[in-house]
């Protein structure tokens, strides 16, 4: 008799056997729509008008930037069903089982940073109607996110999917009301942004692209349970449509609010516009937005746990138990709480800088990872070797991936344009940030060149042995009870 399904997810950084795969490919669409339909996304849209761009140019910049950045994110989603692994542990094939700590460090920074901003905004939203101080709400929000993350993959999918319908209805009304009520271009008519229109346009483009690329670090976490033979084009398309659609919508709405309101804020802007449509509707929209922020906070905590567990496992083999999952998620929650308490009040300025930093650290990683998957190894990996404590066929420190990442990052430095540092190329371009160009081209291109003589035939035997062991051996004989209780 089959084992009863368990409510709490049993899998962690380990491989998901074929017999445990489940879910529908279209679920990737609403999952990433809601995952991106959060107030932090709207904040990115504020940047254009603040730099002196017109509403039209601001919207164009976020559309092009978001669509460009989502391209990389969506292609990572296809790796989940092919490999049956979380996103970041796959990097061991390019960087080595221990060398993968290089991108892991940057990724944990992204997870924690995003969740800090999410918690701050969610608290501001809930405090519009509910009593309680900042410390209390930080603790409650993080605590609820931890519970969702502990239950795991299927519950997170379910919550995100149903929130999609609510968000579309509420923000559909809100967006129409904003276009009817607001007069774009009045709030920042005198703003110059400190540079030309072209420079400001590129700053917004880079911010939107970097924001979307940051989601690439955990896309496979939520596609790895899909059947192995699900069509690649469907996984990519649904992920792209959901993530790009919500980003373009909410960033554009943010640009509209910023161009029309003298002191725009994600909370105050939504509340003002919504309440003008119908008394209390704006406050309701803020609460709905705060709930969505709790959902993505759980998603981020889940991904941060997978990444940190992968990092620890590289140096000291760990058994991916439920107890370890709970401890890892709780530890991430504590870190987020502490950082949130220390965050300065001017977090909007900090957030824009944070988005650019994400772009700098993640671009060379996504280039290396995607080139390896689509151009070098073409989706064929020995999953058991990825967990080999001795390194296996991928080694402990893979110099090709590490060198490509490092060179890609270094070549980006002259193009950096931040408040703290402006590279010589960026300065020559009037402050325009084009760092993603060398990061992608040189990081990915160098990795491809360094692997031209890679003996893939020798790896093939390991790949075939791995597949026999995983889906024809002990792993496939485990009870299929990891999921199911909360899926729909």
User: Using one digit for the tens of pLDDT, what is the confidence trace for 293-345?
Assistant: 999 999 999 999 999 999 998 888 888 888 888 999 999 999 999 988 887 76
pLDDT score of 480:
37
How large is the average pLDDT for residues 280-304?
A: 93
Give 250-272 pLDDT, tens digit per residue.
999 999 999 988 776 788 889 99
pLDDT value for 450: 96
pTM, to two decimals: 0.89
The answer to which of 346-355, 421-430, 475-484 has the lowest mean pLDDT is 475-484
What confidence score (pLDDT) does residue 472 get? 66
388-422 confidence digits (pLDDT tens): 888 789 989 999 999 999 999 999 999 988 777 88
Q: For residue 17, is pLDDT > 60?
A: yes
Per-residue 3-state assignment (H helix, E strand, C coil) for the chain? CCCCCCCCCCCCCCCCCHHHCCCCHHHHHHHHHHHHCCHHHHHHHCHHHHCCCCHHHHHHHHHHHHHHHHHHHHHHHCHHHHHCCCCHHHHHHHHCCCCCHHHHHHHHHHHHHHHHHHHHHHHHHHCCCCCCCHHHHHHHHHHHHHHHHHHCHHHHHHHHHHHHHHHHHHHHHHHHHHHHHCCCCCCCCCCCCCCCHHHHHHHHHHHHHHHHHHHHHHCHHHCCCCCCCCCHHHHHHHHHHHHHHHHHHHHHHHHHHHHHCCCCCHHHHHHHHHHHHCCCHHHHHHHHHHHHHHHHHHHHHHHHHHHHHHHHHHHCCCCCCHHHHHHHHHHHHHHHHHHHHHCCCCHHHHHHHHHHHHHHHHHHHHHHHHHHHHHHCCCCCCHHHHCCCCCHHHCCCCHHHHHHHHHHHHHHHHHCECCCCECHHHHHCCCCCCCHHHHHHHHHHHHHHHCCCCCHHHHHHHHHHHHHHHHHCHHHHCCCCCCCCCCC
The whole-number average pLDDT for the span 360-370 is 92
Q: pLDDT band for position 362 (50/70/90)?
A: confident
| pLDDT, tens digit, 9 for 90 and up, residues 64-103 | 999 999 999 999 999 999 999 999 999 999 999 999 998 8
Q: What is the pLDDT of residue 347?
A: 60
Range of weakest confidence among 210-214, 227-231, 271-275? 210-214
Q: How many CA atoms lie within 13 A of 8 on its CB side?
A: 13
pLDDT score at 86: 93
Percent of the chain residues past pLDDT 70, beyond the cut: 91
Rounded to the nearest integer, the mean pLDDT of the chain is 87
> What is residue 346's predicted lDDT score, i.e. its pLDDT?
65
- Which pLDDT does position 187 carry in this prediction? 56
- The stretch 124-150 carries a mean pLDDT of 93
Residues 54-69, mean pLDDT to the nearest whole number: 94
> pLDDT-derived band of residue 474, with 50, 70 and 90 as boundaries?
very low
**What is the model's pLDDT at position 186?**
59
pLDDT reported for residue 352:
65
Residue 106 has pLDDT above 50, yes or no: yes
Q: What pLDDT is recorded for position 270?
A: 92
With b for 16 or more beta-carbon neighbours within 10 A and e for fewer, the 389-401 pattern comes to eebbbbbbbbebb
pLDDT beyond 80 at 425: yes
pLDDT tens-digit series, residues 27-54: 999 999 999 998 888 888 998 898 889 9
pLDDT of residue 194: 46
């Amino acid at each position: 008799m089959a084992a009863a399904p368990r409510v709490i997810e049993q899998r962690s950084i380990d491989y998901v056997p074929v017999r445990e795969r489940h879910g529908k490919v279209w679920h990737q669409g609403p999952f990433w729509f809601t995952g991106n339909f959060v107030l932090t996304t709207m904040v990115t849209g504020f940047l254009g008008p603040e730099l002196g761009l017109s509403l039209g140019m601001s919207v164009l910049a976020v559309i092009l930037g978001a669509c460009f950045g989502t391209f990389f994110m969506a292609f990572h989603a296809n790796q989940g069903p092919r490999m049956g692994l979380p996103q970041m542990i796959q990097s061991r094939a390019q960087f080595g089982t221990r060398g993968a700590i290089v991108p892991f460090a940057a990724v944990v920074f992204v997870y924690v940073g995003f969740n800090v901003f999410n918690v701050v905004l969610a608290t501001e939203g809930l405090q519009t109607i509910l009593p309680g101080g900042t410390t209390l709400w930080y603790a409650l929000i993080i605590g609820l996110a931890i519970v969702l993350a502990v239950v795991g993959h299927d519950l997170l999918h379910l919550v995100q999917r149903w929130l999609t319908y609510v968000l579309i209805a509420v923000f559909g009304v809100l967006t129409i009301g904003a276009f009817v009520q607001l007069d774009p271009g009045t709030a920042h008519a005198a703003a110059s942004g400190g540079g030309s229109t072209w420079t400001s346009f590129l700053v917004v483009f880079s911010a939107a692209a970097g924001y979307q690329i940051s989601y690439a670090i955990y896309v496979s976490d939520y596609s790895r349970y899909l059947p192995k033979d699900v069509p690649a084009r469907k996984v990519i398309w649904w992920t792209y449509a959901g993530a790009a659609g919500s980003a373009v919508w909410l960033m554009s709405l943010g640009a509209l609010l910023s161009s029309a309101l003298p002191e725009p804020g994600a909370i105050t802007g939504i509340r003002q516009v919504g309440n003008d449509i119908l008394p209390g509707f704006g406050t309701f929209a803020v609460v709905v937005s705060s709930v969505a922020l709790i959902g993505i906070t759980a998603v981020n905590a889940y991904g941060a746990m997978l990444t940190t567990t992968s990092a620890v496992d590289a140096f000291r083999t760990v058994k991916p138990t439920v107890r370890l999952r709970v401890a890892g998620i709780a530890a991430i929650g504590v870190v987020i709480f502490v950082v949130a308490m220390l965050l300065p009040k001017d977090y909007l300025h900090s957030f824009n800088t944070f988005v650019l930093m994400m772009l700098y650290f993640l671009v060379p990683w996504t280039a290396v990872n995607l080139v390896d998957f689509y151009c070098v190894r073409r989706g064929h990996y020995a999953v058991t070797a990825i967990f080999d404590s001795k390194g296996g066929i991928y080694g402990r420190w893979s110099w090709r991936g590490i060198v490509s990442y490092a060179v890609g990052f270094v070549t980006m430095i002259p193009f950096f344009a931040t408040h703290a540092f402006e590279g010589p190329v960026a300065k020559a371009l009037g402050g325009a940030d084009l760092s993603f160009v060398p990061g992608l081209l040189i990081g990915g291109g160098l990795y491809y060149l360094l692997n031209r003589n890679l003996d893939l035939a020798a790896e093939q035997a390991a790949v075939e042995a791995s597949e026999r062991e995983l889906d024809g051996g002990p792993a496939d004989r485990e009870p299929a009870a990891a999921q199911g209780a909360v899926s729909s």
